[in-house]
Amino acid sequence: MATKNIIVPDIGGATDVVVIEVLVKVGDAIKVDTSLLTLESDKATMEVPSSDEGIVKEMKVKVGDKVSQGSTILVLEVAEGKATAPMPVNNKAAEAPAVVSVTSNAAPAPVAEISSPVDVHAGPVVRKIAHEFGIDLKKVAPTGPKQRILKDDIVNYVKARLAQAATGGGLPAAPTVDFAKFGAIETQPLSRIKKLSGKNLHRNWLLVPHVTQFGEADITELEAFRVEQKAMVEKQGVKLTPLVFIMKAVAAALDAFPQFNASLDTNGENLILKKYIHIGVAVDTSEGLVVPVVRDVDKKGLLELAKELSVLSEKARNKQLTANEMQGGCFSISSLGGIGGTAFTPIVNVPEVAILGVSKSSIKPVYKDEQFMPRLMLPLSLSYDHRVIDGADGARFITYLSTMLSETRNLLL
Ligand code: CAO
């Protein structure tokens, strides 16, 4: 292999022209006419094509450098026999490639004419790519100097559109805002879990026609029972929180309302009813939300469930959950009861058809037997897929759940 210096050819006598874009990098295989640089003088923006073919060995210029005719752009590794002597600076060689003028105020170059918008700043390569992909350059956010659209801007635009098509297809893009214009900022990458769960939540939000039914359960008796049992249970190293009772009540409700323990098949024509009751429980971890699944909740006792829940949530927080432990759920529970809030609208965890949100219980005056009484009320928020579940069934399910939680013996039997 021989090497050859690739130099700036005749650029119409302009000197100290600023490099505003470097279009190749070390290791790139380039051909004759591959665009190497974009230069910007007072009068025009130009793209410099390569005079040779080979592999880029070393770059000699970067964005912001000033170049003139004869400045070395890069060192090219060329195939033996193809290398010629470096082109002299003053050589007005016939082989010297022509420079394409893009946004010159003079006559526009042919490449520039391929693409329509003339009021955007972009080089011929960018315009050509935009033309080939049918991209309207006016929609691409420029990040180059003087609002110039760079090749990377096109790449980012296409990536964003593909991501959008994968989720919401055809939705208008969120505006690109330069937040630093308004004050100090810091950019933090999203965790792997956040990126994954974010994609799923977005898809579920768009795919499912959600309805959220709110309700309240009187858990005064249940709480008295829980507090009574708590110390005894804690001796066995287990924490008995309201969530375990809620899981049991949900299992009973799923048994009574099988359409909640179901999934739509992929063509949306059939409902697949499940004969098992596995419940996913959303766990908040430092990396984001994960949903381990507790299997056969209907067949397990309160203590067994409490033990399993604490093992799974511990594993979730230590990032030790296996894929298997997060699969096979029929219904999900998202409990924010340990944190606070009065109600929220959880997003259905597709392919499940419903999810229960639990908020923090509080003592409220409840009118009973012709007087107000202080009762501990638990707020419930049931979101469901309206393609599968009717509003009346949503109300029946939450009423059933409230009854189950109000009468503790229902859960113990
Ligand atoms: N009302 C009042 N108090 C409640 C309650 C409720 N609904 N639910 C729990 N509590 C109490 C518990 O009894 C416990 O109090 P004590 O320590 O005095 O007994 C305290 O709140 C903390 O409970 P916990 O959070 O440790 O336990 P849990 O069984 O309720 O929940 C888990 C376990 C793993 C679900 C929970 O820790 C968690 O991660 N929750 C967040 C889930 C989440 O982020 N969901 C959002 C999904 S949508 O983006």
At 239-267, the pLDDT tens digits run: 999 999 999 999 999 999 999 999 999 88
Domain end point (choices 101, 119, 135) = 101
Specify the pairing of strand 121-122 against strand 148-149: parallel
Same domain, residue pair 90 and 20: yes
Same domain, residue pair 146 and 97: no
CA distance 43 to 11: 12
| Residue 184 CB-half CA count within 13 A | 0
35: domain CATH number is: 2.40.50.100
In a domain, 219, yes or no: yes
Assess contact for 224 and 301: CB atoms under 8 A. no
350 CA to centre of ligand 1 in angstroms: 23
Instruction: Read off the tokens for 363.
Output: 């003592």
pTM of this structure: 0.66
283 Cβ inside 6 Å of ligand 1: yes
Same domain, residue pair 145 and 14: no
Q: Is-catalytic flag, 390?
A: yes
337 Cβ inside 6 Å of ligand 1: yes
Residues in the chain: 413
Same domain, residue pair 225 and 361: yes
Q: Which of 121, 153, 330, 385 is catalytic?
A: 330
pLDDT value for 291: 96
The greatest distance separating any two alpha carbons of the chain, rounded to the nearest whole angstrom, comes to 105
pLDDT value for 199: 93
Same domain, residue pair 351 and 387: yes
37 CA to centre of ligand 1 in angstroms: 58
Type of residue numbered 257: F
279 Cβ inside 6 Å of ligand 1: no
Same domain, residue pair 48 and 26: yes
Strands (E), 83-177: 100-101, 121-122, 148-149
Domain end point (choices 101, 122, 143) = 101
Same domain, residue pair 196 and 332: no
408 CA to centre of ligand 1 in angstroms: 19
380: domain CATH number is: 3.30.559.10
In a domain, 179, yes or no: no
> Whose CA is closest to 362, among 346, 379, 381, 344?
379
Same domain, residue pair 221 and 249: yes
Pocket of ligand 1, candidates 218, 223, 243, 364: which has the most ligand atoms within 8 Å of its Cβ, to mutate?
Answer: 243
pLDDT value for 44: 72
In a domain, 24, yes or no: yes
What domain range is 11 assigned to?
A: 2-101
Same domain, residue pair 276 and 381: yes
pLDDT value for 53: 94
pLDDT value for 198: 94
Specify the pairing of strand 354-358 against strand 371-385: antiparallel
In a domain, 176, yes or no: no
How confident is the prediction along the chain (413 residues), in pLDDT tens digits per residue?
789 999 999 888 888 998 988 999 999 999 998 889 988 877 777 889 899 999 999 999 998 899 999 999 999 999 876 554 444 333 333 333 333 333 333 333 333 333 345 578 888 788 888 888 889 898 898 888 778 898 888 988 888 888 766 655 677 888 999 999 999 999 999 999 999 999 999 999 999 999 999 999 999 999 999 999 988 889 888 999 999 999 999 999 999 999 999 999 988 899 999 999 999 999 999 989 999 999 999 999 999 999 999 999 999 999 999 999 999 999 999 999 999 999 999 999 999 999 999 999 999 999 989 999 999 999 999 999 999 999 999 999 999 999 999 988 777 75
378 Cβ inside 6 Å of ligand 1: yes
196: domain CATH number is: 4.10.320.10
Same domain, residue pair 155 and 88: no
349 CA to centre of ligand 1 in angstroms: 19
SS3 136: coil
CA distance 238 to 302: 11
In a domain, 68, yes or no: yes
In a domain, 359, yes or no: yes
CA distance 333 to 331: 7
If you take atom 16 of ligand 1, which residue's CA is the nearest one? Answer: 241
SS3 146: helix
pLDDT value for 104: 37
From residue 260, alpha-carbon distances to 53, 59, 153, 301, 354 in Å are 65, 63, 46, 22, 6
Question: Is 49 exposed, middle or buried (CB count within 10 Å of its CB: 0-12, 13-18, 19+)?
Answer: buried
Domain end point (choices 59, 81, 101) = 101
346 CA closest ligand 1 atom index: 48
In a domain, 181, yes or no: no
Q: How many CB atoms lie within 10 A of CB 28?
A: 15
Q: Is-catalytic flag, 330?
A: yes
306 CA to centre of ligand 1 in angstroms: 12
357 Cβ inside 6 Å of ligand 1: no
Same domain, residue pair 54 and 143: no
Which residue(s) pair with 2 in the sheet?
Answer: 78
Q: How many domains does the chain have?
A: 3
Same domain, residue pair 304 and 347: yes
In a domain, 127, yes or no: yes
Q: Is-catalytic flag, 284?
A: no
If you take atom 19 of ligand 1, which residue's CA is the nearest one? Answer: 241
